[in-house]
Chain A
């Protein structure tokens, strides 16, 4: 695979075009957010700059930026394709959706269904989704609140030894161990089971050890990955926008282009000849929605 600017751009373009088509078919509207935002503690990632004695963030995390900019709590179906800077000058291209205002598990099932159609549209095999729950863990540590930070750190590291060393009841440790290692199609949390059942797809698993510690995530969280790639492809989760339930995901396009084998179809009409007639014909065809290829 060549990695020069033009080859990479062709792959990005192929993936972006496919994603836009899928998101549009699901009736999601594209949102274009500012490159630069005034600094706020609710905004994640981005590159901090100072301009005219004011602090700004360049290309912050999209979900946090969306929440920052939403002045009213309206039902919305949105998607974006944008670069994000992770506290440095090196950016990653992301594509994502945000469904704001669904009811019950509808929000999660719809967003995860979009994710599955993305895999199919891109021709990706061996891509999976693991679903976990932050609320389940918060409930599990309620009686031992004073140890919650250690327990969440142990989850983040996947280090159960940290929990084993805590002075808590043996039965509680067993309960936490069961959650820590649970992986299957149905688990102890009804909401997750309902989502997995509604999706009915062999690529989706309940993995209660999957957690994503973004401050806006409320309950359900999920991670997207492939054994063909050593890093996660993306992830998402459930959050709230005022009184509304919301769910979204972000996919790393830099990761996706490593997995996708683009299929470049060329059904354009080839045009040659006199510029006076050639471009008139090109304009006519394009207005009819047909592609052209002009020989220089």
Chain B
């Protein structure tokens, strides 16, 4: 699209690029910023669904593709239906709870913020719900993927009010992004 923002200092969180202002937030917070007034953002569908923010999602982007899955230690592989009462470690408590509820399985959700692969080794959880891409991190930690919950990809997010008051500008940006995607 021709918008290039560089940070001379990685601690700098706001960068001006011509008529645009780029904000560098934690991925998990992008939907919240957009919901509360930032015009547009890019975040994974896992984060968007977990946060359940009130915003528009006009475009799925062709990167950041992975999946959210149920993961168990490789020495203790059980089906989902046998996980009644299990402790589930995850950065996605809402999605994890929804998944197990849909399968009629009651679990205890333990919210973690990162490096969730440690939790079964430390004995604080029985299974995990986390992002899987190549599976290498799982293998390195003696974990296996049992079942995919949902596919994940990057999404373009738009603030509901920005869509109205900057209608033409927002649509133009979406169109330009689509042109880049379609090559």
B161 at interface (Cβ–Cβ under 8 A)?
yes
How many residues of A are in contact with the other chain, CB < 8 A?
A: 17
Q: How far is the CB of B159 from chain A (nearest CB, A)?
A: 6
Which residues from chain A contact B59 at a C-beta distance below 8 Å?
Answer: 159, 161
CB within 8 Å of B: which A27-81 residues? none
B158 at interface (Cβ–Cβ under 8 A)?
yes
Which residues from chain B contact A243 at a C-beta distance below 8 Å?
Answer: none
CB within 8 Å: A-B pair count: 49
Q: Is the CB of B161 within 8 A of A229?
A: yes
Q: How far is the CB of A161 from chain B (nearest CB, A)?
A: 6
Q: Is the CB of A157 within 8 A of B159?
A: no
Q: Is the CB of A230 within 8 A of B159?
A: yes
A93 at interface (Cβ–Cβ under 8 A)?
no
Closest B residue by C-beta to A226 = B161
Q: Is the CB of B57 within 8 A of A225?
A: no
Which residues from chain A contact B158 at a C-beta distance below 8 Å?
Answer: 158
Contact partner of A158 (CB less than 8 A), chosen from B35, B38, B58, B178, is B58
Give the docked Cα–Cα distance between A88 and B58 (Å). Answer: 28
B160 at interface (Cβ–Cβ under 8 A)?
yes
Closest A residue by C-beta to B162 = A230
Contact partner of B37 (CB less than 8 A), chosen from A159, A183, A207, A230, is A230
Contact partner of B57 (CB less than 8 A), chosen from A159, A227, A231, is A159
Which residues from chain B contact A160 at a C-beta distance below 8 Å?
Answer: 58
CB within 8 Å of A: which B29-45 residues? 35-38
B103 at interface (Cβ–Cβ under 8 A)?
no
Which residues from chain A contact B160 at a C-beta distance below 8 Å?
Answer: 225, 231-232
Q: Is the CB of B164 within 8 A of A225?
A: yes
A106 at interface (Cβ–Cβ under 8 A)?
no
Give the docked Cα–Cα distance between A157 and B49 (Å). Answer: 12
Q: How far is the CB of B44 from chain A (nearest CB, A)?
A: 15
Q: Is the CB of B161 within 8 A of A225?
A: yes
CB within 8 Å of A: which B131-183 residues? 158-165, 167, 171, 178
B99 at interface (Cβ–Cβ under 8 A)?
no
Which residues from chain A contact B54 at a C-beta distance below 8 Å?
Answer: 231-232
Give the docked Cα–Cα distance between A157 and B158 (Å). Answer: 9
Q: Is the CB of A231 within 8 A of B161?
A: yes
Which residues from chain A contact B38 at a C-beta distance below 8 Å?
Answer: 230
B24 at interface (Cβ–Cβ under 8 A)?
no
Give the docked Cα–Cα distance between A158 and B156 (Å). Answer: 11
Q: How far is the CB of B6 from chain A (nearest CB, A)?
A: 27
CB within 8 Å of A: which B99-133 residues? none
A197 at interface (Cβ–Cβ under 8 A)?
no
Which residues from chain B contact A158 at a C-beta distance below 8 Å?
Answer: 56-58, 158, 163
CB within 8 Å of B: which A222-245 residues? 225-227, 229-232
Which residues from chain A contact B171 at a C-beta distance below 8 Å?
Answer: 181
Which residues from chain B contact A230 at a C-beta distance below 8 Å?
Answer: 35-38, 159, 161-162
Contact partner of B36 (CB less than 8 A), chosen from A161, A181, A207, A231, is A231
B50 at interface (Cβ–Cβ under 8 A)?
no
Q: Which of B36, B161, B162, B178 has the most CB of A within 10 A?
A: B161
Closest A residue by C-beta to B33 = A230
Q: Is the CB of A229 within 8 A of B37?
A: yes
Which residues from chain B contact A157 at a C-beta distance below 8 Å?
Answer: 56-58
Question: How does the 8 Å CB contact mask read for A120-146 relative to B, with 1 for contact and 0 for none?
Answer: 000000001010000000000000000
Q: Is the CB of A207 within 8 A of B164?
A: yes
Q: How far is the CB of B28 from chain A (nearest CB, A)?
A: 19
Question: How does the 8 Å CB contact mask read for A154-192 relative to B, with 1 for contact and 0 for none?
Answer: 000111110000000000000000000101000000000
Q: Which 8 A-B pairs have the closest CB atoms?
A: A230-B37, A158-B56, A157-B57, A227-B165, A159-B58, A225-B161, A158-B58, A230-B36
Chain B residues proximal to chain A, CB less than 8 Å: 35-38, 54, 56-60, 158-165, 167, 171, 178
Chain A residues proximal to chain B, CB less than 8 Å: 128, 130, 157-161, 181, 183, 207, 225-227, 229-232
9 contacting pairs across A/B (C-beta < 8 A) = A158-B56, A158-B58, A159-B56, A159-B57, A160-B58, A161-B178, A183-B167, A225-B165, A230-B161
